[in-house]
Structure formats: C-alpha cells, structure tokens
C-alpha cells in the first residue's frame, strides 16, 4: 500500500484503538458483513430475496444539520448558511471523541470511488468506520473494486474519511452517541470526520459529505459544479433525446420525477441519477454524471401508484431502514397500500397500534439499493463523459404564487430563480408546517462554501460554454392549491405533461404568454387531455399574480442581502428590474 494510505490507517488505529483493521477493496466481504449484522441483530432477514431490515436508535433517524460543520481556514469562506468551527479547535474536539472510540471493535477500511475512474470528475476516498452497516451500505452506494484500490495505492491521493458510531463502550444493535454527534469537513486538506451517528446521511461520507459539501467547495475554482439535482434523459416519440436536471428541496418529489414512468404515448424517461449531479461545463455545453452507484431513497409514500419503477427496483437485494415489519416478514410503510396490514411491528420494534399520530414506518424510513436494479436506467449512467444537459428545472412546494410552469428569459434569470428557490415546510420537516423555507438551488444544507461565491460561480460558468449550448431554465410547482386547500394539479406521473411541453418549447414548437417574470404556456397548447381540471383551475395553474410576486421578490431580496458583500450585484439588479416591471393595480 502507498505510504500515505498506510499512515492514514495506522494513525486511525492508534487513535481509535480498534482491535483490528479489515481492508475492503471489493464486495467479496459482503456476505460476511451481512452475517455479522444479522448475528448482532442489526439486520433482520426479510422474505424478499437478499433483503434486510435495520432499525436505528430513535434518536438517530436523520441528518443533523445543526451538528454539521465546515472547518475552512477562513471563517468568511463558510458563509452565513454553514456552521463554522476553526480547524484547530475542531481537531482538538475530534481527537477527544475518537480517542478509544473503536476499542474492542473491528475497523473497516473501505476504498471507494465516486464516479467512474475514467471520468475527469471522479473523486476517490477511503472511509474508515467501526460500523459494518455503514461498510455494507458503502458497497452499494459507491464503487468499491480492485481497480479503485489499485488507483489509490498508485497515486496516494484520496479524501480521508473517519467515522465512528460511538465510544460509549456498550454494543447495542444500533450504537450511537446523539448528544456528541459531529460531522466535520476540512475542505483545504480534503478530510471528513463523523462521530456519533450511524444514519446514512451522517455516516455514508461519500454521499452528501463528499458528493456535495466537500466537492462544491473544491469545484469552485474549476469549471465544475456539485449539485443536489436529479438527472434524467427524455426521449420524444420522434426519437430525439434531451438531458434534464432538476433541483427540488426535500419532500418536493425529486425521486418520483427521477423515476417517472411516462403515460404519454411514445415518450420515454430514463434515469441517470436521483440525488447528486456532478457537472463539467465545456464549450459544447453542460455535462452531468451521477457519482453514486445506489439509491438511498425515502420509503414512506412510495407505492405502485406514485413510483412503480422504484417499487420494482426494491423487490430484491435491498437494505430497508426504519420501515415497519409485516407478520409474513416483509416491509411496509405509510401509503404503500391504502390501509396497513394486520399484525405490523413498527419501526421501533413494537406492535403497531394504528393510533392517530403514530407512524408504523418512520417518515424518513429509507431503502438502499443498487441503481443497476432500476428498470429505466439510461446507458449514459455508465458514460464517464456524462449526459449533455439541455434543461434545468427548479421546483418547490408552494400553495400559491409560483405557477405550475414558468420559463426563464435568460441564463442569468435562471441563476436568480435558482437562488430564490423556496418551499413550504411539511410535517416531516422541523419547524412550523407551511412556513416558507429558503433553499437556494436546494443546496442550503449542502453547499460547502459561501453562498455568495456559489452564486457567482454559477454566473461565471456561463462564459465557459457557448450561448447556443447553455441549458434552458424553468421553474415548476406541482403543489398549487385551490380555495378548499386541495391540490389543483394531479402530480406524480402526470408531471410528464410539463416535461413534454418544455421539450417541445426548447424545440421551438410551443408559443408562450409573456409576463414580466418570464413566459408561461398558452392553455390551448398545453396537454390537458383526459384530466379533470376546470377552465378556472387551468387559468390558476399559469397565473402570475403581480401582488403576490411583489411580496415574493421583496422577501427574496431581503433574504439574499445576507450574503453581501459576496453576493453578486447582478442578482439584486435583476430583482429590482423585475420589481419595476410589475404592472400597477
């Protein structure tokens, strides 16, 4: 092994005092990991082929944004949306937490890659963890093979990731230390440390930590972007294909759109990625890859009606986390079927009482499955050059103001509306239900550097490509409501109608109605065939209300001003221009 690799392993052994190091360079250890997890009752075998259920500690069920830190050398580089800790101070804290954290436990050393080794965007890492559950999930979510192992040991270049669930000394089925959890990122030295949580987003450090936080910071000086976006390939009945990316805050339907099954004759949608997009900007356009090898999707709400392709993908070889267990040894979650089956065991391992307010499956219950099991996987997933992107969507959960579909008039306007992305909080999120939460580019919890610099990076990248090859930007909103608080748009598979219109518009086959904000479809040119939507509601779907938008733009301007003096002046200029253009009452 390369001296740098040996040094990282030795230093981790010495600090954490693990009883032994287990090198994982391919998936030959997979069954051994599963057997050990079943033995310690972390995994429960299911009747689905090769599938298992895990139950976490009730205090370790989601990402912990308040305990996630960016430890860059200069505090101003982190910006107001990140929790900052000086590197030296954080290292002292981490040293205490990790001291003896793996005593009497094995230490798994996982060599992995994010993205194909042949891609210029590929990042290679080593995650050292005391969790067999984490090691097993990494085998699904990242590329772990002999080629990656050899590449790391040839170059000695890697992102160093150290993870421990707990130093408390006891060995329950789900060890964790929620009171002392910390996830720390060091962009300049390419290091990530995670202590106290075994949950995916906190512990699978190739995912949000490398995939977004670290890589967004590393990419800011290059013609790259690391984005919280889905990637799909859309093909028309004529056989013409376009690449589409979309940024949605949580609970806004990102995975459902990524795996949409078109009901429109002749139209086909294929999956490249459902969560993370790494983008290289070239003179001939934006090219995106999915750096992950698996899906870490929210189970609750997924059904044959809402996402049939996901349901097909998870029929076998899947790790389920915090789902309910049926009496015939299968999993269940809310909305999988209209009513819960009899004899359920809930996500905490207790008999399910079906009382109001109680969940059989945790609202953030998850499935981990290889992306190769998705029936609609595009061949471009395997292409190291990536998929050329023609269309970028931004979408939030808003009951009013934002129309179903709005076309941006320019690249700069696209960046502005990405920076103004916001969504209403849901019951699954912390805070008041229905409160507007700003989430620029859906990157609020994931941007590893100052948002002002991030917006500027997007604006500057326009120069790296020719005008004809820049993507077209659109704002979408599936969640408009009427006066009775009912959704106007049916959503789910019917969202393909919006994609159809955008595709035709990019091909110059659709006319629009011009507004001060941008353009909306003409009702007669949008495909409403077969939908039970009144003429009044059709008008509401594409309504641009001047009063609501004046309020919206003023609120967005106030929000964006917190990023000054790094905020690009262009964004405020554009907002002021829009405010001037609002029609008088």
Task: Quote the longest CA-to-CA distance of the chain.
Answer: 74
Distance of CA 350 to the CA centre of its chain: 31
Distance of CA 177 to the CA centre of its chain: 25
- By DSSP bridging, strand 230-235 and strand 224-227 are unpaired
C-alpha dihedral sign at 325, 330, 331, 335: negative
Q: What would the two tokens of residue 440 be?
A: 């620029």
Backbone phi, psi, residue 44, to 5°: -115, 120
Ranges of H-type helices in 117-258 = 132-141, 146-155, 200-203, 215-219, 254-258
- Indicate the SS3 state at residue 428: coil
> Is 252 annotated as catalytic?
yes
What letter would DSSP give residue 502? H
Distance CA 312, CA 527 (A): 28
- 544-to-402, 404, 550, 558 alpha-carbon distances in Å: 7, 10, 11, 21
Q: What would the two tokens of residue 474 be?
A: 């659109």
Backbone phi, psi, residue 272, to 5°: -110, -45
Q: Is 331 in contact with 325 (CB distance < 8 Å)?
A: yes
Q: Is 300 in contact with 147 (CB distance < 8 Å)?
A: no
Nearest to 5 by CA among 29, 19, 23, 27: 23
Identify whether 565 is preceded by a cis peptide bond (ω within 30 of 0).
yes
- Indicate the SS3 state at residue 327: coil
Distance CA 299, CA 16 (A): 34
Nearest to 444 by CA among 304, 170, 250, 240: 250
72, 161, 252, 374: the active-site residue: 252
Distance CA 244, CA 234 (A): 7
Strands, DSSP E only, in 305-449? 319-321, 324-325, 331-332, 366-370, 387-389, 391-395, 405-407, 422-424, 436-438
What letter would DSSP give residue 331? E
Length of the chain: 585
> Exposed e or buried b for every residue in 380-401, given b needs 16+ CB within 10 A?
bbeeeebbbbbbbbbbbbbebb
SS3 percent helix, strand, coil of the chain, rounded to 5, is 30, 25, 45
Distance CA 296, CA 136 (A): 13
Q: What would the two tokens of residue 157 be?
A: 């270049």
Residues with active-site annotation: 252
């Amino acid at each position: 092994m390369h001296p740098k690799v040996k040094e990282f392993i030795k230093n981790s052994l010495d600090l954490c005092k693990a009883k032994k190091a287990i090198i994982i360079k391919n998936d030959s250890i997979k069954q051994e990991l599963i057997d050990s997890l079943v033995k310690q009752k972390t995994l429960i075998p299911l009747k689905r082929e090769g599938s298992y259920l895990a139950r976490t500690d009730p205090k370790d069920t989601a990402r912990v944004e308040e305990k996630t830190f960016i430890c860059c050398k200069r505090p101003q580089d982190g910006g107001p949306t990140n929790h900052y800790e000086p590197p030296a101070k954080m290292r002292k804290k981490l040293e205490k937490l990790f001291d003896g954290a793996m005593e009497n436990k094995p230490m798994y050393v996982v060599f992995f890659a994010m993205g194909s080794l042949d891609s210029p965007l590929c990042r290679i890492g080593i995650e050292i963890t005391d969790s067999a559950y984490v090691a097993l999930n990494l085998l699904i979510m990242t590329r772990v093979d002999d080629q990656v192992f050899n590449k790391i040991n040839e170059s000695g270049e890697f992102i160093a990731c150290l993870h421990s669930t707990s130093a408390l000394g006891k060995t329950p089925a789900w060890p964790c230390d929620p009171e002392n959890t910390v996830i720390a990122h060091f962009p300049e030295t390419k290091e990530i440390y995670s202590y106290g949580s075994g949950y995916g987003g906190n512990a699978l450090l190739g995912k949000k930590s490398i995939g977004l936080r670290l890589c967004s910071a590393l990419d800011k000086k290059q013609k790259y972007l690391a984005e919280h976006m889905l990637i799909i390939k859309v093909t028309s009945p004529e056989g013409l294909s376009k690449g589409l990316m979309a940024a949605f805050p949580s609970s806004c339907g990102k995975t459902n759109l990524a795996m949409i099954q078109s009901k429109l004759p002749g139209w086909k949608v294929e999956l490249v990625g459902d969560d993370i997009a790494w983008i290289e900007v070239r003179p001939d356009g934006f090219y995106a890859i999915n750096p992950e090898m698996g899906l870490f999707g929210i189970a609750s709400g997924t059904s044959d009606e809402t996402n049939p392709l996901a349901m097909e993908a998870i029929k076998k070889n899947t790790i389920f986390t915090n789902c309910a267990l049926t009496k015939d040894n299968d999993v269940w979650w809310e909305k999988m079927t209209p009513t819960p089956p009899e004899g359920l065991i809930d996500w905490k391992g207790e008999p399910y009482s079906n009382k109001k307010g109680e969940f059989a499956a945790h609202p953030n219950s998850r499935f981990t499955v290889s992306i190769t099991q998705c029936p609609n996987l595009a061949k471009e997933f395997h292409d190291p050059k990536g998929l050329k992107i023609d269309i970028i969507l931004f979408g939030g959960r808003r009951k009013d103001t934002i129309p179903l579909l709005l076309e941006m008039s320019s690249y700069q306007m696209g960046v502005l509306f990405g920076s103004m992305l916001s969504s209403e909080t849901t019951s699954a999120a912390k805070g008041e239900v229905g409160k507007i939460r700003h989430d620029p580019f859906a990157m609020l919890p994931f941007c590893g550097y100052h948002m002002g610099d991030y917006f500027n990076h997007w604006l500057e990248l326009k120069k790296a490509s020719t005008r004809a090859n820049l993507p077209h930007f659109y704002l979408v909103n599936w969640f408009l409501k009427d006066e009775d608080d009912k959704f106007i748009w049916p959503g789910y598979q019917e969202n393909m109608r919006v994609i159809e219109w955008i595709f035709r518009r990019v091909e110059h086959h659709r006319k629009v109605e011009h507004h001060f904000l941008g353009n909306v479809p003409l009702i007669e040119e949008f495909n409403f065939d077969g939908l039970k939507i009144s003429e009044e509601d059709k008008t509401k779907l594409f309504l641009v209300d001047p009063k609501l938008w004046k309020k919206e733009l003023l609120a967005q301007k106030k929000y964006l001003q917190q990023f000054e003096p790094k905020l690009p002046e262009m964004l405020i200029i554009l907002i002021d221009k829009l405010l001037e253009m609002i029609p008088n009452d």
